Amino acid sequence: MSEPQAPQSQANNAQSAEPVAYERCLCRELLDHFRAQFHISPEVKQHLMNSRVEFLKAIREVIDDRIDHLTTKASQGTKISVE
């Protein structure tokens, strides 16, 4: 996989001479490798970018469901009197 990129913009240079490093993103790296191997139209590029967002939303939903499951109290049985 590629190393973190450090693009420098004019706004960046105005505030600080240090480059900004971005964290690696597996989805972005896969897209970059795919783009290097095949010609990707702007429509396909946009579709892949949208799918990355949808994938992350799906992961968030799975995490939220698990949190809800762990935080709900288990139902307790009913009390029966024995004679």
- H helices present in the chain, as ranges: 10-15, 26-37, 42-71
> What is the predicted pLDDT for the residue at 46?
87
Domain assignment of residue 83, yes or no: no
The answer to whether the pTM exceeds 0.75 is no
Domain that holds residue 48: 39-69
More confident position, 18 or 62: 62
HSE-up of residue 65 (Cα within 13 Å, Cβ side): 6
10 has a pLDDT exceeding 50: no
- Cβ atoms of residues 20 and 12 within 8 Å: yes
Domain-located, residue 59: yes
Same domain, 19 and 50: no
pLDDT of residue 15: 54
Mean pLDDT of 52-69: 93
**Which of 22, 25, 24 is CA-nearest to residue 9?**
22
pLDDT average, residue stretch 36-61: 87
User: What is the rounded CA–CA span in Å between residue 75 and residue 81?
Assistant: 19
